[in-house]
Amino acid sequence: MSKSEKTVYLNLINKKMKKIIFTILALLTFVAFSNAQTGKPTYCDSVKSEIKTTISGTKVYFSVTSSGSISSYEWVFGDGSSNSKDAAPYHVYANASTYTPCVYLIIKNPRDPNKPCTTKVCKQITVGSNYDSCANFKPTASMQLGSDGQTATFEASVSSNNSYTYSWNFGDGSTSTDRTGTHKYKPGTYKPCVTIKSTKPKCEKKICFEITVKDSSNPCDKFNPTVIFEVDSNGLATYKAIWSGGNITSWNWDFGDNTTSTSGYGTHQYKPGSYKPCVTVTTVINNIKCTKTICKEITVRGIDSCADFNPKFEYKIGENGVVTFWGVSGSNLTYYWYFGDGTSGSGVQTSHTYKPGAYKPCVAIKSTKPKCHKTICFEIIIKEKDSCRDFNPNFGYSIDGTTVKFEATYGEHFSFLWNFGNLGQSSDRLVKFDFKKPGTYKVCVTITDKKTKCTKTICKEIIIKGKNTQDPCKGFNPKVSFQIDGAKVKFGVDGGKGSQYNWSFGDGTSSTNRNPVHVYKKSGKYTVCVTVYDAKRKCKKTICFTIEVNVPDTDPCKDFKPEFNYSITGNKVVVEGSNISGVQYTWSWGDKSKESTGRVSDHIYKVAGKYVLCMTAYDPQTGCKKTICKYIVVGNSRMIGEGDNDTDEKIVVYPNPADTKITLITLTESPAKIVVKDLNGMELIRYDANPGEDKSVDLLIESLPKGTYYINVEQDGKTEITKFLK
């Protein structure tokens, strides 16, 4: 090949290569443009994350793994409790059940650091060793005959996610898999059933019915007379038998007490006792005589003047075996006490000293008007004085990788026995133990005082997370300070740069400031806690301490103490508030009727019974407001004055039913722990309250769905329960 031919050949190759390169660049440009238009997966789309759990009863340990670098966590446990920002939290569920916890993650984006990835990961878990996954599987079904007496309409309940299947067996050899429909029967008696199954979880329930189809050729099948037989509290019976389809030709009553009647209706007087009255009713349909006998069982009770005699008494077990008993003073009652150890006493109030043991004391209570008597027995246990009651040793520990240092309480005569499960034991006070690998371990130590012979075993769960030899939080020791100036307290904490703070001031309020200033409303001692969280090192520490503040008494309403009296005549109640100049009064009657105003007012109840009567007094000059509620029983005549206590003292909730807010009247002004639960026992609202002088607490309930709820009020060591409707 000549030199000129080589040149031409190379030029041709170069032209072809340029054309190939241009084609490749165009194709790459098109692919890039297509990816931009069609949403090719980004780095965030490629990140995979998964929740890991370790379940022990209702206690669950959480962690999450991810192919990306996680910078922030937000755990939602699926039971309405508070969230957690920990990387590996644990949570104790209140009830055994199935839950769906989730974690919201923020993940670093190495391709675009200014646009981190956000993702939500969820996992369904079941806690509780004896949890029945089908406990809440409660489908329903119905089957009814139509007006023709032969066609039955059937229907089964539907699931929210359409996961139910249905299998009907109509009892006459035919079946169906429909949820609803109709089925026609021939005359006869059948027992149709439906089997309802769910896929998630796999549950099954069988529901059966009984259907009787009558022969329409028998005209007497249409003879269905109605019988009314009612007996009042005095034993007077009112009876009546009718048929809406035609005339009745005869009635034959047998009252069950050897007396009879042939009237269609009337009255009959019974003596106390049990009876079975019957009536045989006759008519003629299409020249055919039709009869039907209907019976009813009744019990007539005599008037018991002591039926409502339920006297009250209380007792309190004190120290050294001393038990105090007392009844209701200022009444027509007398009390006789039998202490259960062969001795007795009398009087409204008495006390008795017991030796250790179990006893069954009784109280006989008598009233003069009416003359009633009731004996009530109960059980008490008197425990021996525990000389070891104040023996409360403990132990602490620090974790470094898989090695844990344990330190028990020091005592001159103490001995120690550590138990590390199958891993070993030790009798030293200070123990350094290597668990070798991550996991959850139960460590117990039995501490004995050789001098007093007192002994106590303390157990704790130790969580070993990894084999790190350095604790990043070892030097994390935030310092707290405070300055008290009357009711105002300045708080401060040094938690390091970028730390987060959560203060609890001990009076139900909180703050997330680093150096908050808080003003207390009442004098007293308060336990203040601050939780400091260093997100960078993922270190958290809670520090608690006690302060005492003195709040100047500047309450303009401290002397505002209105009261009210009421009188009852039959179902009519007349109320009268304290005669205080300028005060406005509002009355809530407790029977869903409209409120009334005025210092003196009256109200007639439609039904006799027990009601909550509330007075709200408001002084517009001072802005003072106070609500007082009392239980009343209408249907009897009496006059109640201040200081009387003829009704049970209980917590009061009003309005009831409520829409957005309820007011709770507690028994005392002491701090109260208030918990609102649904009918399944699920805790919905928790509130640590300090009731005002009027013992009231306001709760917002607008977030709750309509339904019935229970309120538990723990106050002064006692727990009271009531309920309300929304």
| Burial (0-12, 13-18, 19+ Cβ within 10 Å), 239 | buried
pLDDT top residue among 387 and 434: 434
**How confident is the model over 616-627, as a mean pLDDT?**
87
> CA distances (Å), 614 to each of 467, 561, 670, in order?
65, 15, 21
- Per-residue pLDDT for 642 more than 70? no
Whether cis (ω within 30° of 0) applies to the bond prior to 370 is: yes
- Residue 33: the pLDDT is 44
- Range from 121-125, 315-319, 443-447 carrying the lowest mean pLDDT: 315-319
Asked whether 204 and 197 are in contact (CB, 8 A), the reply is yes
- Region 550-566: mean pLDDT is 82
Q: Which CATH superfamily is domain 555-648 in?
A: Immunoglobulins (2.60.40.10)
CB of 212 within 8 A of CB of 187? no
pLDDT of residue 14: 54
Domain with residues 651-726, CATH architecture: Sandwich (2.60)
Q: Is the dihedral of CA 299, 300, 302, 307 positive or negative?
A: positive
28-45 mean pLDDT: 56
Q: Which residues pair with 60 in a beta bridge?
A: 55, 91
CA 459 – CA 418 distance, rounded (Å): 10
pLDDT at position 665 is 83
Residue 29: is its pLDDT beyond 60? Answer: no
Edge-first strand listing for the sheet containing 517-519: 479-485, 488-494, 517-519
Q: What fold is seen in the domain 314-382?
A: Immunoglobulin-like (2.60.40)
CA gap 231, 512 in Å, rounded: 68
pLDDT at 584 over 90: yes
The owner of tokens 């238009």 is: 37
Q: How many other CB atoms are there within 10 angstroms of residue 663's CB atom?
A: 19
Contacts of 15 (CB under 8 A, 6+ apart): none
Q: Between 584 and 1, where is the model more confident?
A: 584
CATH of domain 479-549: 2.60.40.10
d(Cα 516, Cα 503) in Å, to the nearest integer?
Answer: 8
At position 336, the amino acid (one-letter code) is: Y
Tell me, what's the pLDDT at 39?
53
Q: Residue holding tokens 């090695």?
A: 403
- Tokens standing for 131? 């949890």
Average pLDDT of span 265-287:
91
Are the CB atoms for 528 and 546 separated by under 8 Å?
A: yes
Round to whole Å and give the CA distance between 241 and 247: 11
CA distance 404 to 438: 12
Q: What is the pLDDT averaged over residues 95-121?
A: 89
Identity of the residue numbered 354: Y
Instruction: Determine the Cα–Cα distance for residues 587 and 565; give it in Å rounded to an integer.
Output: 12
DSSP string, 298-329: EEEPPP-TTTT----EEEEE-GGGEEEEEE--
| pLDDT above 60 (res 625) | yes
What does pTM read for this prediction?
0.26
For tokens 């923020």, the residue is 106
Residues contacting 24, CB < 8 A, separation 6+: none
pLDDT at residue number 15: 52
Tell me the fold of 141-213.
Answer: Immunoglobulin-like (2.60.40)
CA–CA gap between residue 509 and residue 520 (Å, rounded): 10
Give the pLDDT band of residue 21 (cuts 50, 70, 90): very low
* Between 100 and 371, the higher pLDDT residue: 100
Q: How far is CA 371 from the centre of its chain?
A: 44
pLDDT at 444 over 70: yes
Tokens found for residue 505:
């001031």
Where does the pLDDT of residue 348 fall: very low under 50, low under 70, confident under 90, or very high at 90 and above?
A: confident
Kindly report, residue by residue over 370-397, the tens digit of the pLDDT: 788 888 999 999 888 777 877 888 998 8
Please compute the mean of the pLDDT values over residues 626-636 and round it to a whole number: 80
**pLDDT band of 398, cuts 50, 70, 90:** confident
Q: For domain 43-127, give its CATH number from 3.60.10.10, 3.30.420.40, 3.30.1380.20, 2.60.40.10.
A: 2.60.40.10
598 pLDDT tier (thresholds 50, 70, 90): very high
pLDDT of residue 647 exceeding 50: no
What does the pLDDT read at residue 646?
41
pLDDT tens profile 214-227: 776 778 878 889 99
Q: Is the pLDDT of residue 41 over 60?
A: yes
Tell me, what's the pLDDT at 347?
83
Using alpha carbons only, give the angle 111, 113, 119 rounded to the nearest 5 degrees.
85
Instruction: Inform me whether the pLDDT recorded for 162 exceeds 80.
Output: no
Which class for 726: exposed (0-12), middle (13-18), buried (19 or more C-beta within 10 A)?
middle
Confidence class for position 466, pLDDT limits 50, 70, 90: low
Radius of gyration of the chain (CA): 39
Average the pLDDT over 617-623 and give the result. Answer: 88
CB 401 within 8 A of CB 467: yes
Residue 133 CA to residue 97 CA, distance in Å, equals: 7
Asked if residue 428 has pLDDT above 70, the reply is yes
SS3 131: coil
Give the three-state DSSP class for 9: helix
Q: How many residues are there in the chain? A: 726
- Please state, in angstroms and rounded to a whole number, the distance separating the CA atoms of residues 96 and 124: 13
What percentage of the chain has pLDDT greater than the value 90?
A: 32
Nearest Cα to Cα of residue 54 among 146, 127, 157: 127
Q: For 496-510, what is each residue's pLDDT tens digit? A: 777 889 999 988 889
pLDDT band at 275 (very low <50, low <70, confident <90, very high): very high
Question: In terms of CATH, what superfamily is 395-464?
Answer: Immunoglobulins (2.60.40.10)
Give the residue from 301, 251, 139, 158 showing the smallest Cα distance to 206: 139
| pLDDT-wise least confident of 59-73, 324-338, 509-523, 614-628 | 324-338
Whether the per-residue pLDDT at 436 is higher than 60: the answer is: yes
pLDDT in the model for residue 260: 94
* pLDDT above 70: residue 638: no
- In CATH, the number for domain 219-300 is 2.60.40.10
Position with higher pLDDT, 511 vs 695: 511
